[in-house]
Amino acid sequence: MRNLRNPFVQVGIWTLGVGAVLSVIVLSVPWLPEDASTQAGTIDTLYDVLAVISCFVFALVISILLVSVVHFRRRHNDLSDGEPIHGNTTLEAVWTAIPALLMLGAAVYSALVLANIEEPKANTQTVDVTGQQFAWTFKYEQGNFRTGVLFLVKGTPYHFKMHSKDVIHSFWVPEFRMKKDAVPGMTTDTRVTPTRYGHFTLVCTELCGLGHSTMRAPVIVGNQAAFDRWAALQKKKQSQVGGIS
């Protein structure tokens, strides 16, 4: 049991214990809204992994601090000077290398996730998304009509091509997780495959002027038959007002 008095062993035990408890707490909190796209699961796992790593790094820092305070505290009546220390090359190399490896690992993992969620899929439908102060419009390439409602078919991979008519806006449906800016003068894009029926909201998430907080659009995820009926109705409405350019 003499080992337990060793400050390194104490730091190790506290780090594992506190890190594990924090991880359980952090993982049990529902930080994110429900997931409604194939992209969401991969992103959520990345979030969880980074959160757990953060818990253990935090636990390590706090453990070193507390063990140092308790183990190396000045004893009563000890008025001697501290040891003259001029750096420790090994220690500095270790505390530089470990965070560097952690960051590198997180960067490689994130890059793999990004490549995975942005991978083009077969049978992808393209929708042109245009942002302007303070509304979104959607032009369906298949069917050639334009609406203010984003109707998607569950299980279909979508490719959104984004434009802006004035300032920078940002396309975000929290349940889909994917977020991309619409920038004037260029076309940006993002990919989403919806996995859940329901009504969601597209939120502009780039401060774009006085009406920014009202710049929302309804998002509906339904089945193919519902989409076909809806699309026919949109086309009929459009032909009644003279069609689109």
The residue ranges that bind ligand CUA (CB under 6 A) are 131, 134, 169, 204, 206-208, 212, 215
Integer CA distances (angstroms), 144 to 104, 147, 198, 231, 233, in order: 45, 10, 24, 10, 13
- By the 8 A CB rule, do 45 and 109 touch? no
CA dist., res. 215 & res. 239, Å (int): 27
Query: Which residue, 153 or 208, is less far from ligand CUA as judged by CB?
Result: 208
Closest separation in Å from C-beta 138 to ligand CUA: 15
- By the 8 A CB rule, do 162 and 171 touch? yes
Query: Which residue, 23 or 170, is less far from ligand CUA as judged by CB?
Result: 170
Query: Which residue, 13 or 167, is less far from ligand CUA as judged by CB?
Result: 167
Closest separation in Å from C-beta 182 to ligand CUA: 8
Query: Which residue, 67 or 204, is less far from ligand CUA as judged by CB?
Result: 204
- By the 8 A CB rule, do 179 and 169 touch? no
Closest separation in Å from C-beta 33 to ligand CUA: 19
**Would you call 129 helix, strand, or coil by DSSP?**
strand
* β-bridge pairing 158-164 and 125-132: parallel
Query: Which residue, 200 or 227, is less far from ligand CUA as judged by CB?
Result: 200
Closest separation in Å from C-beta 213 to ligand CUA: 8
Closest separation in Å from C-beta 48 to ligand CUA: 29
